[in-house]
Amino acid sequence: MIRVYPLEEIFMEMKVITLPAFHIVGYSIEATVEEFESGLGKSHYHKLVERKDEIQYRKNDNVMLMQMYPINEDFNAKTDKFTHLLGYEVTSLENVPSEMISHEVPESQYVTYTHRGVESEIGDTYDYVYRQWVCENGHEPKDYDFEIWDERYQPESPNNEIDIYVALQ
């Protein structure tokens, strides 16, 4: 089922903001969207949550999913592998646990929007942001975006909410 969003609602909720540089510690996974969604993402998510106390300097308990794409005009997230980073924002990159990586995210401008509804429909939200909003508003995306999964994250529920941040040039 494809969820239809009233355009006025989306435009009013879309905001362009600037975030300072930040750091993430967690698991890096190279996979297509399909591979990630077929269980690879969930297994790493559960492993991350189980090991969260090993991550020192954790800023909060919100899980971040960062998706980093190759700079390639022919790139297709459904068929091409790219980097998924599941982790926590940290205030220091010291003492990264074994099997995990650290990643520094530079200061950037982002368009942000809250996806509401089951997680399986989030692709429609991304399609709208990348294929319509970015172009119509004179922006160009960078090579990454991220989601924040906080206490509202209920992937199978229609009450689910996920904050999406798409980095802008």
Confidence bin at 59 (pLDDT 50/70/90)? very high
Please give the Cα distance from 101 to 79 (Å, whole number): 25
Please give the Cα distance from 41 to 27 (Å, whole number): 10
Give the mean model confidence (pLDDT) for residues 49-66: 97
- Identify the bridge partners of residue 89 per DSSP, sorted by sequence position: 24
Please give the Cα distance from 48 to 26 (Å, whole number): 7
Strands (E), the chain: 15-19, 22-31, 58-68, 82-90, 101-105, 108-116, 141-149, 161-168
Task: Give residue 113's identity as a one-letter amino acid code.
Answer: Y
Give the mean model confidence (pLDDT) for residues 28-57: 94
Give the mean model confidence (pLDDT) for residues 40-61: 96
End-to-end CA distance of the chain: 33
Q: What is the pLDDT of residues 5-21, one digit of tens each?
A: 544 455 458 899 999 99
pLDDT greater than 80 at residue 1: no
Q: What is the pLDDT of residues 93-131, one digit of tens each?
A: 999 999 999 999 999 999 999 999 999 889 888 888 988
